[in-house]
Amino acid sequence: MSRKAIYWFQSDLRIHDQPVLSNLNQSFDELLCLYIIPNRWLNNPFGLDFNRFGKYRRKFLKETLVDLDRSLKKIDQKLIVLIGNPAEIISDIFQEHNIDKVFTQDQFASEERDDINYLRALIGDENIVSHQSMLMVDPESLPFKIDSLPFGFTSFRKKIEDKFSVQNSYDDVKDLPATLISFKDVKWPEILVLEEEETIIPEKTAFPFEGGESAALNRMNQYIWESQHILSYKSTRNRLVGTEYSSKFSPWLANGSLSARRVYQEVKKFEDQIRSNISTYWLIFELLWRDFFHFQALKFGAEFFKAEGIKHRKKDWNYDVDLFNRWRTGNTGVDFIDANMIELKETGFMSNRGRQNVASWLAHDYKIDWRWGAYWFEHCLIDYDPCSNYGNWMYVSGVGNDSVTDRRFNPDLQSEKYDKKNQFIKLWLN
Ligand SMILES: Cc1cc2nc3c(=O)[nH]c(=O)nc-3n(C[C@H](O)[C@H](O)[C@H](O)COP(=O)(O)OP(=O)(O)OC[C@H]3O[C@@H](n4cnc5c(N)ncnc54)[C@H](O)[C@@H]3O)c2cc1C
């Protein structure tokens, strides 16, 4: 009898560094490569007038899926994209097509973990196998259990820095089992059909982002090997204008078209072959922040998304929609905040310096529930990732991992320091 499997792609939209996918050929005859857009992305949890899946995210995801499908076709497979409740869709296919096993990626945020747990309940724990391919450092390799994860980043880093090892990243998948015949002609969901005006991004964007593994690997190659801008990363990373002030890896890391382990491996190779300095170290340091927020999300589950945050700190949040809309449309009257918010609205990206400032403004000056801001970011950001987004928002808003109680950024001082000649403000406010 033919052995059948489903590979459920989540935030691993690539064919490099796919340890499980690479080996399916040995045990299965037929395979369904599946990606499901969760229908909750179209919901509106706070009753505001936008959903969780804005146009830039849709554009970037579509480009990513097209690129993945192209790569799969080269090895006689294809990507099926559906929309709905992931666990229910997979369970229906599982029953109807007598599937033997479902493979997928481990998740760290509570909603995504709930999807996997629900699927386990529907089809049986023994029929689903998940693996870690999202982070640089495996949670199992930490020198402590997730329950004992240090609360602050510095103590986390000090505990692991000299001890962690990173698994070698796998080469591209070479062979896969044949496509499940009955899925050959399934159309992709309407939500991925974009209107022309939805796809226009101004030339002044911080980076001409294009979704997909091919563009991701090109950018990594260019930033590390060709331009070697990685060598000045630490001194440029707080800037606001241009393609090279930071790596711009985040959108690809967020949907997994770039593997964090591959970035680590590439930086180490560069350090061995060319040079190692504080900047090459600092890029890995930032990837540790990314892992840190994922581990925190795993530890705290749904608390990560509550107003009191993981600090369990009750604050008297404001829910003034007009004030919130001023912030979100770039109409606060504070140039540095508005320029950043307009950049986000028009491109789906914002620098880290900008994000810290606008988050601080919403939470500390307008005193609006930080989750509204995180939710607007979720709608807009092409690098949206639940753990990094909600984790950073909590941090800035005084309900997360920051040891300082309320760290307010002064936008005037910040713009004097990071935008001395008003280059950034002029770029986005003119
Ligand atoms: C309020 C707020 C919300 C954010 N939301 C997101 C989000 O949804 N998705 C996201 O990927 N990042 C988020 N960040 C973190 C950070 O702003 C972006 O990762 C970074 O700006 C992306 O640009 P880059 O790839 O050029 O970063 P670089 O400076 O080149 O850093 C390299 C990589 O390290 C990781 N990284 C860097 N800083 C952080 C950080 N503070 N937290 C977690 N990872 C980090 C990212 O994967 C990034 O691609 C947020 C930060 C703030 C303050």
Supply the residue whose CA is at minimum distance from atom 21 of ligand 1: 352
Per-residue pLDDT tens listing for the chain (430 residues): 899 999 999 999 999 999 999 999 999 999 999 999 999 999 998 999 999 999 999 999 999 999 999 999 999 999 999 999 999 999 999 999 999 999 999 999 999 999 999 999 999 999 999 999 999 999 999 999 999 999 999 999 999 988 888 999 999 999 999 999 888 788 999 999 998 877 889 999 999 999 999 999 999 999 999 999 999 999 999 999 999 999 999 999 999 999 999 999 999 999 999 999 999 999 999 999 999 999 999 999 999 999 999 999 999 999 999 999 999 999 999 999 999 999 999 999 999 999 999 999 999 999 999 999 999 999 999 999 999 999 999 999 999 998 888 889 999 999 999 999 999 999 999 8
DSSP class per residue in 298-315: HHHGGGGGSTTGGGT---
**Atom in ligand 1 nearest the alpha carbon of residue 383:** 9
The two tokens of residue 359 are 């988050």
Q: Which domains does the chain have, with CATH numbers?
A: 1-133 (3.40.50.620), 135-167+212-301 (1.25.40.80), 306-429 (1.10.579.10)
Q: What is the bridge-based pairing of β-strands 30-38 and 178-179? A: parallel
For residue 430, the model assigns a pLDDT of: 83
Q: Give strand pairing partners of 9.
A: 35
Q: Which of 250, 257, 351, 377 to mutate to test the pocket of ligand 1 (most atoms within 8 A of CB)?
A: 250
249 CB less than 6 Å from ligand 1?
A: yes
**Residue burial 194-207, b: 16+ Cβ < 10 Å; e: rest:** eeeeeeebeeeebb
Supply the residue whose CA is at minimum distance from atom 23 of ligand 1: 248
Ligand 1 center from residue 202 Cα (angstroms): 22
250 CB less than 6 Å from ligand 1?
A: yes
**Atom in ligand 1 nearest the alpha carbon of residue 292:** 43
Supply the residue whose CA is at minimum distance from atom 11 of ligand 1: 250
CA distance 266 to 243: 20
**Residue burial 35-74, b: 16+ Cβ < 10 Å; e: rest:** bbbbbebeeeeeeeeeebbbbbbbbbbbbbbbbbbebbee
**Atom in ligand 1 nearest the alpha carbon of residue 356:** 53
Please enumerate in sequence order all residues whose Cβ is within 8 A of that of 229, keeping only pairs 6 or more positions apart, or say none.
223, 236, 244
Ligand 1 center from residue 388 Cα (angstroms): 7
Cβ neighbours of 171 (radius 10 Å)? 11
Ligand 1 center from residue 385 Cα (angstroms): 9
The two tokens of residue 136 are 């640089």
pLDDT digits (tens, 9 = 90+) for 296-331: 999 999 999 999 999 999 999 999 999 999 999 999
Ligand 1 center from residue 246 Cα (angstroms): 10
**Atom in ligand 1 nearest the alpha carbon of residue 381:** 8
Q: Of the candidates 284, 255, 250, 253, which has an alpha carbon nearest to the alpha carbon of residue 267?
A: 284
356 CB less than 6 Å from ligand 1?
A: yes
Backbone angles phi and psi of 329, in degrees to 5 = -95, 5
For residue 133, the model assigns a pLDDT of: 98
**Atom in ligand 1 nearest the alpha carbon of residue 384:** 8
**Atom in ligand 1 nearest the alpha carbon of residue 351:** 21
396 CB less than 6 Å from ligand 1?
A: yes
359 CB less than 6 Å from ligand 1?
A: yes
Ligand 1 center from residue 120 Cα (angstroms): 32
User: Max alpha carbon distance in the chain (Å)?
Assistant: 70
CA distance 380 to 378: 6
Ligand 1 center from residue 420 Cα (angstroms): 23
